[in-house]
Structure 1
Amino acid sequence: MNFTSQVTDARNIEMKATLDNVAEKLEIIKGLADTEGKIIKQFDTFYNVQEGRLKLRKFEDKTDEPIAELIFYVRPNATGAKLCNYKKMDVDSKTYDSLNGILSASLGVQGTVSKKRLLFLIGQTRVHVDEVDGLGSFIELETVLDATQSIEEGHQILKELMSKLKIDTKKCLEVSYNDMLISAASSNKTLDKSVPQFVKNTMV
């Protein structure tokens, strides 16, 4: 079977928060979800770019094509819900190593993130329960907007879902997992469950 790929443009309204009681939150999610939870092991390589973020995401337990995605996205560092504009392209196993090599040599690697993600769908929102190596547990919501929907509508959908999932807005994060790991490494701090709040405070 021949593999073909094309660039997809999309928009999300999304948020990320620390997660203390994973089992309790999973019960609430399962009561609302339209799908069974799917476990996805991901390894993200971030490259140095002047604007936005560029990452090559490998699905570590996937055997069929595509095994990875190249994603460029622009998202502000802001607490709570925010707009993310992104472009992504599927990458097959024959291309992955060469593409990673070219991007690493030309741009330089900014950092890597390894995580186990449990994915649910609630309406048009992707719900991620993430276990991130070196950081801990998080919940992430991504409301995928279609071409006819406004940013305000996306914010309203996400706000209502955050309420249903009982997400504490005080635990919302400003930055990406990669940013947290870079900040912690540069500060020479030992990573534990309290790191996300520490990183949020130091990056304001």
Structure 2
Amino acid sequence: MTTKREKTREKRRVMPSNVEIKARVSDVAKFAEKAAQLSQSEGTIIRQHDTFFNCTSGRLKLRDFMNGSGQLIFYERPDTDGPKLSRYSISPTTDPQSLKTVLSDALGVKGEVKKERRLFLIGQTRVHLDTVEGLGHYMELEVVMRQEQTVEEGQQVAEDLMQQLDVSQQSLVTGAYMDLLLKGPTET
């Protein structure tokens, strides 16, 4: 029998979630223009250096913002194209280099992803226009789920935004940038 205390602890452990879509971008200027119109902003430029570590389930990465701050991020999501649910937990750090050393020694490094990200906020969705070193141009939609929302509602938000941004089904990709880099060069 589950006690009240155990139920409370389980509720606190529920990981935040979002619905994500990742796709190749062939016309960066056109995509940026549409995202700027929808967000009513020019977006925010963020430089990120992600180090992925070996782990037995999900993905574990250290995101270094290249300014003395970073985030340790664990996430789980299926490797499928189209809208998918991602559950994650994040811990900020003010010493990403030291943390990278410890995690590298403990777990081993799977690989690294360097990118410049242009972030647009459209409603409850974070729209990323990414230039990924070694891969090219991509976009990500992250519909930040509200507690009362269903996965289906989040998927609908993502699909609606895909249409507004002219993101085609053919441009969708599966997996993380790390997975794409490990696969090696592909035709674009």
Asked whether 1:148 is paired with 2:154, we answer no
- 1:48 is aligned, of 28, 35, 54, to 54
Kindly report which structure 2 residues correspond to 1:117-156, keeping only aligned pairs within 5 A, or say none.
117-156=117-156
Distance 1:68 1:8, change over 3 A: farther
> Any idea what the Cα deviations from partners look like across 1:72-107, whole Å, max 9, x if unmatched?
0001100111000000010113xx222211111111
Inter-partner Cα distance in structure 1 for 2:97 and 2:172: 35
Asked whether 1:11 is paired with 2:17, we answer yes
Instruction: Report the aligned-residue RMSD.
Output: 1.6
> Any idea what the Cα deviations from partners look like across 1:132-185, whole Å, max 9, x if unmatched?
00000001100000111111110111111111111011110011110011111x
Q: Secondary structure at the match of 2:100?
A: helix
Inter-partner Cα distance in structure 2 for 1:20 and 1:8: 37
Matched residue, 1:103: 103
Matched residue, 1:28: 34
Matched residue, 1:201: none
Count of aligned positions: 176
Q: Secondary structure at the match of 2:16?
A: strand
The alignment-based identity, stated in percent, is 43
| Unmatched runs of 5 consecutive residues or more in structure 1 | 1-6, 185-190, 196-204
| Unmatched runs of 5 consecutive residues or more in structure 2 | 1-12
Q: CA deviation at 1:27?
A: 1.1
Q: CA deviation at 1:29?
A: 1.0
Q: CA deviation at 1:118?
A: 0.2
Inter-partner Cα distance in structure 1 for 2:106 and 2:40: 42
TM-score, normalised relative to structure 2: 0.89
Matched residue, 1:71: 73
Inter-partner Cα distance in structure 2 for 1:169 and 1:116: 24
Counterpart residue type for residue 68 of structure 1: G
Counterpart residue type for residue 145 of structure 2: L
